[in-house]
Amino acid sequence: MKETLYTIPVNDAINADCECPICKMYRDIENDAIEFTMGPSYMEDDIRMKTDRTGFCKKHISDLYKHKNRLGLALILDTHLKYTIAELEKNKPGSAKAPSLFKKASGEDKINWLRNINASCYICERVNNTFDRYIATIFHLYKTDEDFKSRLMKTKGLCSEHYVLLYDSAKSQVSGNNYNEFISDITKLYHDNLVRVEEDLEWFTDKFDYRNADAPWKNSKDALPRTIIKTNSTVVE
User: Comparing C-alpha atoms, which of 89, 130, 126, 93 is closest to residue 109?
Assistant: 93
22 binds Zn ion (CB under 5 A): yes
Q: How far is residue 64's CA from residue 85's CA, in Å, rounded to a whole number?
A: 22
Q: How far is residue 136's CA from residue 144's CA, in Å, rounded to a whole number?
A: 12
Q: Whole-number minimum distance, CB 233 to Zn ion, in Å? A: 4
Count of CB atoms situated within 10 Å of the CB of 235 = 15
Q: How far is residue 119's CA from residue 100's CA, in Å, rounded to a whole number?
A: 27
233 binds Zn ion (CB under 5 A): yes
Q: Pick from 73, 123, 141, 189: which binds Zn ion (CB under 5 A)?
A: 123
Contact 25, 33 (CB under 8 A): no
Stretch of 7-15, 21-29, 44-52, 201-209 lying at the interface with Zn ion (CB under 5 A) = 21-29
Write the binding mask 177 to 216 for Zn ion: x where contact by CB under 5 A, - elsewhere.
----------------------------------------
Segment 62 to 121, residues that bind Zn ion, using CB under 5 A: 121
Count of CB atoms situated within 10 Å of the CB of 78 = 12
Stretch of 55-63, 71-79, 102-110, 211-219 lying at the interface with Zn ion (CB under 5 A) = 55-63
Q: Whole-number minimum distance, CB 124 to Zn ion, in Å? A: 3
Q: Pick from 10, 18, 23, 138: which binds Zn ion (CB under 5 A)?
A: 23
Q: How far is residue 51's CA from residue 43's CA, in Å, rounded to a whole number?
A: 11
Q: Whole-number minimum distance, CB 191 to Zn ion, in Å? A: 15
Comparing CB distances to Zn ion, the nearer of 33 and 141 is 33
Q: How far is residue 35's CA from residue 204's CA, in Å, rounded to a whole number?
A: 37
Q: How far is residue 190's CA from residue 161's CA, in Å, rounded to a whole number?
A: 11
Q: Pick from 38, 47, 57, 111: which binds Zn ion (CB under 5 A)?
A: 57
34 binds Zn ion (CB under 5 A): no
How many amino acids of this chain bind Zn ion (CB under 5 A)? Answer: 11
162 binds Zn ion (CB under 5 A): yes
Q: Pick from 20, 64, 135, 170: which binds Zn ion (CB under 5 A)?
A: 20
Q: Whole-number minimum distance, CB 161 to Zn ion, in Å? A: 6
Tell me the one-letter amino acid at 37.
Answer: T
Q: How far is residue 80's CA from residue 42's CA, in Å, rounded to a whole number?
A: 12
Angle (CA) 199 204 207, round 5°:
125
Q: How far is residue 156's CA from residue 231's CA, in Å, rounded to a whole number?
A: 14
Stretch of 32-40, 181-189, 190-198, 229-237 lying at the interface with Zn ion (CB under 5 A) = 229-237
Residues in touch with Zn ion (CB under 5 A):
20, 22-23, 57, 60, 121, 123-124, 159, 162, 233
